[in-house]
Amino acid sequence: MKVLITGATGLLGGHLIKELRERNEEIRALVLPVEHADTLVAQGVEVVWGDITDASTLKPAVKDVELVFHLAGMMGVWRPLSDYRLVNVTGSSNLYKAAQKAGVRRFVHTSSHTVYGLGHGRFLTEKDPLRPDPDPYSITKAEADQMMQKMMSSSDVETVILRPGTFFGPGDRLHFGRMAERTKQGKAYILGSGNQHLPFCYVTDIVQGFMLAGYHENAAGNIYNITNDRPLTALELFNAIADAVGGRRPSIHLPYLPIYCGSIVAEKIVARVTHSKPVVTQLGAMMFGSDNMHSVEKARRELGYQPKVDLREGIKLAAEWFNAGGMEQPSVTQASQFVPLAGANK
């Protein structure tokens, strides 16, 4: 079977490719011109250069493809809402329409747990409403989620929407790498009491969810949370990271509400003057300072999904990469505000 992956150079894409190779699938990757595809080529992956924000580049990517895993998205960079919307909403629409025209059988769309909003303090299910917080990533992920629900309702393409937790593992610079660096430097701190649950999941458990979404007969036409439903608290997570990387367990607790309010001021006032990302964003404050849990009972019941990697064990595996100098290795992409978007000029 010919399979297309967007976001193939990312953390999730790399681990998903390993699983697809185990199935001897014909893998094609849609890769941005700024990305380095040497590793993909060495793995036998067919590389097609293009950009989901430019619909004219997508026809070669979806040609003769039976299954699409749409992982690409904008996150973790300081760019305006319009850029996030162009990638996460318009880009997803462009790819889905191209897949429809090409006769793709199944399309797996990557949403996010942030579409529900953060800080509910209970296990959220797929039936909970989408109430994203005022953050470009969360807003546009929710918009794309709603758009995909509407498009799939009248489409012949078997469509699956996944709402994954925040994943980490070897190669994760965005989350684990930063947390490990701060604990290694003795600069990590805890927001609030530290008893709040953080919505993290080891990357191979997320991959398991994607494989089920791509191949299980029950998945088509459905939405699933995919994460670890045995989350660690903030204190447990940071203590485990500190122990694994030889860092210092955080002993400083900062009050959550003032930090959250300060992040709002930093985003709305300070960042507009400095034109740079604040040290603490609203999304970051809520992610690490509020209580977040998500149920996977639907995926467990309908697909047989079951998280297999204990989070403490996952931290040890990610720490092996970090301790071996993982953060010093060259990045595969310019994950910054300077990457051009082809669709911006259309």
Could you tell me what percent of the chain has a pLDDT over 70? 95
- Strands 223-226 vs 158-164: parallel, antiparallel or unpaired: parallel
Cα–Cα distance for residue pair 140/74, rounded to 1 Å: 9
At 269 the pLDDT is: 81
Residue 167, SS3?
strand
Q: Which helix (H) or strand (E) holds 28?
A: strand 26-31
Torsions phi, psi for 293 (to 5 deg)? -140, 145
The answer to whether 130 and 146 have CB atoms below 8 angstroms apart is yes
Q: How far is CA 7 from CA 14, 15, 32, 133, 218, in A?
A: 9, 11, 9, 24, 25
Could you tell me what percent of the chain has a pLDDT over 90? 85
> Is the per-residue pLDDT at 337 higher than 50?
no
Return the structure tokens found at 15: 């681990």
pLDDT digits (tens, 9 = 90+) for 156-209: 999 999 999 999 999 999 899 999 999 999 999 999 999 999 999 999 999 999
Cα–Cα distance for residue pair 319/299, rounded to 1 Å: 29
DSSP 59-77: HHHHTT-SEEEE-----SS
Candidate from 129-143, 243-257, 324-338 with smallest mean pLDDT: 324-338
Nearest to 288 by CA among 248, 322, 256, 250: 256
The answer to whether 148 and 109 have CB atoms below 8 angstroms apart is yes
At 279 the pLDDT is: 81
Range 251-257 average pLDDT? 96
Range 145-162 average pLDDT? 97
Residue 189 burial (C-beta neighbours within 10 Å; 0-12, 13-18, 19+) = middle
Range 228-238 average pLDDT? 98
Structure confidence at residue 338 as a pLDDT band (50, 70, 90): low
Question: What CATH homologous superfamily does 2-169+199-229+292-309 map to?
Answer: NAD(P)-binding Rossmann-like Domain (3.40.50.720)
Candidate from 111-115, 238-242, 276-280, 288-292 with smallest mean pLDDT: 276-280
Range 98-117 average pLDDT? 98
> Is the per-residue pLDDT at 334 higher than 50?
no
Return the structure tokens found at 313: 């064990």
At 336 the pLDDT is: 42
Structure confidence at residue 268 as a pLDDT band (50, 70, 90): confident
**Mean pLDDT taken over the chain:** 93
Choose between 274 and 109: higher pLDDT: 109
At 236 the pLDDT is: 98
Structure confidence at residue 343 as a pLDDT band (50, 70, 90): low
